[in-house]
């Protein structure tokens, strides 16, 4: 999806998935107003960086660091034991009489197994060390708490550009998944920690003249056997028009259905 800015001076954002519409002239896959989505994401970001939340997160980091340190000691003890076993197997193999081939072969196999165990533990320990939590210094800790206290003002300041706000979001958010339903939008925020937070916002209600009853009933009769594009073509062929006197499109049909609570009934196409 990408952002399309509409309205006077591009002040209204719309999240749009329309690649197939651009390439093949098909209806847009999804089109969602951006204001409610932007507010939800902003609220969650500011809430996650509230001073109390930052202090809690720092305390969690401290506990993770303590646990990781203890786990590291355990890994190191396991690796030391594996090295000792490998050295012991090597000494036993070196001391065996070469003429005793059966014993020598058995001891050689034990030595090889011990060496493979050392190699396995070294690989797993390296992966464990790469995954250790971030260590925050006292200066960084204080800077984070200061930033958290001022972030709301920084975010809402007229001198803060949208490009700067986006930069701040990229420091916290990996991606956001939007799914439109008949009455609202499901928002899934995947933080850089890989945690996922889900919320919903309602679709805005468009104000305007009510849809004529004849069109509402015609939509209701067609939606079980036709998709929105086909319904638009049928309504246009029948000479019906919108309340503003315009021809129907798939997007107008979809919006009219949603405003009047008409659900699709599983068109097999």
Residue range 133-156, pLDDT digits in tens: 666 677 767 766 676 677 778 888
Residue range 158-216, pLDDT digits in tens: 888 878 888 888 878 889 999 888 778 899 999 887 889 999 888 776 555 678 888 88
Residue range 78-90, pLDDT digits in tens: 999 999 999 999 9
Average pLDDT, the chain: 82
CA distance 176 to 196: 9
pLDDT over threshold 50, residue 104: yes
Residue range 41-72, pLDDT digits in tens: 988 888 877 766 667 567 766 776 787 788 88
User: Could you report how far apart the first and last alpha carbons of the chain are, in Å?
Assistant: 24
pLDDT over threshold 90, residue 266: no
Range in 87-96, 147-156, 241-250 with the lowest mean pLDDT: 147-156
Percentage of the residues of the chain whose pLDDT score is greater than 70: 85
Which residue bears the tokens 């969690």? Answer: 60
Domain residue spans of the chain: 2-49+139-202, 52-130, 213-259
Sheet with 30-33, side-by-side order of all strands = 2-6, 12-17, 30-33
Q: Name beta bridge partners: 31.
A: 16
pTM over 0.85: no
């Amino acid at each position: 999806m990408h952002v399309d800015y509409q309205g006077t001076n591009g002040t209204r954002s719309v999240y749009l998935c329309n690649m197939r519409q651009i390439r093949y002239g098909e209806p847009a896959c999804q089109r969602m107003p951006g204001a409610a989505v932007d507010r939800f994401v902003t609220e969650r970001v500011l809430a996650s960086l509230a001073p109390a939340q930052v202090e809690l997160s720092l305390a969690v980091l401290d506990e993770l660091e303590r646990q990781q340190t203890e786990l590291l000691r355990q890994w190191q003890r396991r690796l030391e034991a594996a090295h000792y076993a490998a050295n012991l197997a090597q000494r036993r193999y070196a001391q065996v009489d070469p003429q005793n081939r059966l014993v020598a072969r058995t001891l050689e196999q034990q030595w090889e197994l011990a060496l493979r165990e050392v190699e396995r533990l070294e690989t797993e320990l390296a992966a464990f060390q790469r995954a250790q939590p971030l260590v925050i210094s006292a200066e960084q800790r204080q800077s984070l708490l200061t930033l958290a206290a001022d972030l709301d003002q920084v975010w809402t300041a007229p001198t803060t550009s949208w490009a700067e706000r986006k930069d701040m979001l990229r420091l916290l958010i990996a991606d956001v998944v939007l799914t439109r339903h008949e009455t609202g939008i499901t928002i899934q925020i995947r933080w850089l920690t890989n945690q996922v937070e889900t919320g919903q916002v309602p679709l805005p209600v468009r104000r305007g003249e009510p849809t004529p009853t004849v069109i509402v009933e015609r939509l209701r009769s067609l939606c079980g056997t036709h998709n929105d594009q086909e319904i638009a073509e049928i309504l246009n062929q029948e000479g019906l028009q919108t309340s503003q006197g315009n021809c129907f499109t798939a997007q107008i049909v979809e919006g009219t259905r949603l405003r009047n609570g008409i659900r699709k009934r599983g068109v097999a196409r």
